[in-house]
């Protein structure tokens, strides 16, 4: 997917994304790192680890989905106003091939930003011996939440 | 959901499910346990843990989805023949409320079994101070795979 | 599914649903009729017609989805305030069996109502010689819209 | 989306698609036409018509989804062997904007072809006064069926 062009409402969006990402202990647990934060685009990478595997020794689809959902959520978040938090309403993931590889790149891209509801798409790639393969696609609906108790970005 | 009535093709289905579950290191990493294995029905439970949280201190939706996807996959697996492995083709999850609670019960139920393709539904409940709340629903499509290299149950 | 119990915000909800349904020419084109309108629950029926078929002579999945999406949208609408219109954000449909039958009943039920976002589920049944069969399931996310130009209920 | 490059198994794929499309009375009812048939890519167009509208006078989302699902199904069908029929297992549609326009172009593209299961993506565009706007995205899972009674392409 070619990256879209969006104007962020808050020029400090990348710092907001990084600060929120740091507060997610689940991201530390799975070893995810933020590798790209641009307006409407976020990439997250994951390394293969035994602790994240399913019964065939591949990366568990849920771990992949966790990182891909985060990429979608944060790409939506880059375009939200400074006071908003982002919640995932729903997502759908198609698993195209086993998550077999040394590392994995999750790409989230905004398809349609909105005041309340944003739609994003995700792509997950497995990278093995320098070659990459599309292994999952995601469609994701996110919501900007302002002033809801206990929900901050 | 009332539990459906299905006749398993392999009477040893529960042992197959438990053995496969044991081989998933990702399930150990998130602390998931199998709490119900019946024909067409599997429940998985998860306890809240700091290592599984998102930025608001609730359980990360991805961790919830990981366990719910496994419940859906294994409920389909209970009805498959002894030589089959199960793969998730796709799932969709609606997140209804923050995953706030002491523990979480994921229920997977087969809606339509099939020789190749099985459709299952999932429900996730948060349990807090003895009360339970529906926090997520899933629609999931699974595939029975026989004789594919590197894929065993 | 057992019908949920919800308190409508507007006691005249059934008339609002019926009036909106009447304004949908697409519902006339496919011959859909409203057969149940209760708080959080709407049923729509469709008769088999040659004009609605796919290449095997069964009802086209899209026609089924059209009626099922409407059942989901209107069940959400029953619980919305009088000034709101309802928009479908997204839906996912699993087609379980060919839509073979004399008539079809689409059931929409609210799973989680919300001020802005409502989640509903749909079930489609084929009815043939007095027997009914589940042929499709839907998960659907709806949005209440107030004061948006050109959007009325 | 840039069009993918796929080698069809049957060089007569375009005639198979057109013949199957002609047998769908639902496509005639909604006035859909096939405008592109290439390996892994199918476009379908629809003109606005009063008979296809929802309560705001826009094209009913279900009619859009019907044509978009067909575009996804037929793009998968272009890559299937000559004896196969195509069935939709499931699809998910995100509605990004009201279907307001003179005509609508639905694009289906194969993301991952498979012997049994194919994953496709759809995009719907509204065209008004020469300008086009993305109004819906679809993720769709299709199945190749061979030798099943009553199911032909």
pLDDT, residue D147, reads: 78
What is the spatial distance between Cα A135 and Cα A104, in angstroms, rounded to a whole number? 9
Domain A13-145, CATH 3.10.129.10 — does that match? Answer: yes
What is the spatial distance between Cα D34 and Cα D77, in angstroms, rounded to a whole number? 14
Per-residue pLDDT reduced to its tens digit, A26-53 = 999 999 999 999 999 999 999 999 999 9
CA-only gyration radius of chain B, Å: 15
* Longest distance between any two alpha carbons in chain C, whole Å: 47
Q: Are D48 and D56 in contact (CB under 8 A)?
A: no
**Shortest CA distance from D90: residue in chain B:** B141
Mean pLDDT of C98-121: 97
DSSP element (H, E) containing C108: strand C103-112
pLDDT, residue C151, reads: 59
Q: Quick one: pLDDT band at residue A150, thresholds 50, 70, 90?
A: low
pLDDT, residue A38, reads: 98
What is the spatial distance between Cα B47 and Cα B31, in angstroms, rounded to a whole number? 7
Share of chain C above pLDDT 70, in %: 93
What is the spatial distance between Cα C41 and Cα D54, in angstroms, rounded to a whole number? 20
**Shortest CA distance from D139: residue in chain A:** A139
What is the spatial distance between Cα C58 and Cα A31, in angstroms, rounded to a whole number? 49
List C residues 61-90 in contact with A (Cβ-Cβ < 8 A). 89-90
Per-residue pLDDT reduced to its tens digit, A87-118 = 999 999 999 999 999 999 999 999 999 999 99
C6 vs B contacts (CB less than 8 Å) = none
Distance from CA of D120 to the nearest CA of B (A): 12
| Cβ pair B143:D117 closer than 8 A | yes
Chain mean pLDDT for chain B: 93
Strands of C103-112's sheet, edge to edge? Answer: C33-38, C41-47, C103-112, C117-128, C131-145, C85-95, D85-95, D131-145, D117-128, D103-112, D41-47, D33-38
pLDDT, residue B1, reads: 52
List A residues 99-138 in contact with C (Cβ-Cβ < 8 A). 116-117, 119
What is the spatial distance between Cα C122 and Cα C131, in angstroms, rounded to a whole number? 19
pTM for the full model? 0.94
D66 vs C contacts (CB less than 8 Å) = 60-63, 65-66
Mean pLDDT of C130-139: 96
Chain C within 8 Å of D97 (Cβ-Cβ)? no
Q: Quick one: pLDDT band at residue A5, thresholds 50, 70, 90?
A: confident
**Does the predicted interface ipTM exceed a cut of 0.90?**
yes
| Number of neighbours of residue A23 by Cβ within 10 angstroms | 15
pLDDT, residue A98, reads: 92
Angle, vertex CA A60, rays to CA D142 and CA D86, nearest 5: 5
| Closest among C62, D145, D66, C1 to B114, alpha carbons compared | D145
| Closest among B92, B80, B76, B83 to B4, alpha carbons compared | B76
Size of interface A-B (CB pairs under 8 A): 112
Domain boundaries, chain B: 13-145
Per-residue pLDDT reduced to its tens digit, D37-56 = 999 999 999 999 999 998 88
Per-residue pLDDT reduced to its tens digit, C50-87 = 999 988 889 999 999 999 999 999 999 999 999 999 99
| Cβ pair D56:C150 closer than 8 A | yes
DSSP element (H, E) containing A66: helix A61-77
Residue B119 has pLDDT above 80, yes or no: yes
Residue D149 has pLDDT above 80, yes or no: no
Bridge partners of C139? C92, C121
Neighbours, chain D (3 or more CB pairs < 8 A): A, B, C
Residue among D26, D63, D71, D140 with most chain C CBs within 10 A, to mutate: D26
Per-residue pLDDT reduced to its tens digit, B122-150 = 999 999 998 999 999 999 999 999 977 55
Mean pLDDT of D137-147: 94
pLDDT, residue A81, reads: 96
Residue among C120, C143, C148, C151 with most chain A CBs within 10 A, to mutate: C143
| Cβ pair D137:A137 closer than 8 A | no
| Closest among C147, B61, C93, D68 to A143, alpha carbons compared | B61
CB-nearest to A66 from B28, B60, B98 is: B60
3-class DSSP assignment, residue D50: helix
Mean pLDDT of B95-120: 96
B96 vs C contacts (CB less than 8 Å) = 111-112, 119
pLDDT, residue B36, reads: 98
Chain A within 8 Å of C145 (Cβ-Cβ)? no
Residue D19 has pLDDT above 60, yes or no: yes
Residue among D143, D145, D146, D147 with most chain B CBs within 10 A, to mutate: D143
Per-residue pLDDT reduced to its tens digit, A55-80 = 888 999 999 999 999 999 999 999 99
Per-residue pLDDT reduced to its tens digit, D62-93 = 999 999 999 999 999 999 999 999 999 999 99
pLDDT, residue B5, reads: 85
What is the spatial distance between Cα B13 and Cα B34, in angstroms, rounded to a whole number? 14
Distance from CA of A143 to the nearest CA of D (A): 14
* Residue C55 token pair: 């290449």
Question: What separation in angstroms does the CA of D10 have from each of A153, C104, D17, D34?
Answer: 52, 36, 11, 19
């Amino acid at each position: 997917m070619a990256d879209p062009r969006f104007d962020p409402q808050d020029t400090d969006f990348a710092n907001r994304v990084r600060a929120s990402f740091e507060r997610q202990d689940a991201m530390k647990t799975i070893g995810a790192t933020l590798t790209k934060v641009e307006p409407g685009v976020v990439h997250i990478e994951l390394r293969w680890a035994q602790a994240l595997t399913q019964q065939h020794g591949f990366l568990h689809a849920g771990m992949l989905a966790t990182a891909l959902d985060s990429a979608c959520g944060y790409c939506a978040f880059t375009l939200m106003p400074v006071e908003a938090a982002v919640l995932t309403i729903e997502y759908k993931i198609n698993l195209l091939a086993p998550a077999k590889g040394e590392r994995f790149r999750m790409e989230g891209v905004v398809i349609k930003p909105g005041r309340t509801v944003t739609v994003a798409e995700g792509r997950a790639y497995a990278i093995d011996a320098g070659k990459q393969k599309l292994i999952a696609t995601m469609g994701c609906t996110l919501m900007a939440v302002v002033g809801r108790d206990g929900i901050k970005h």
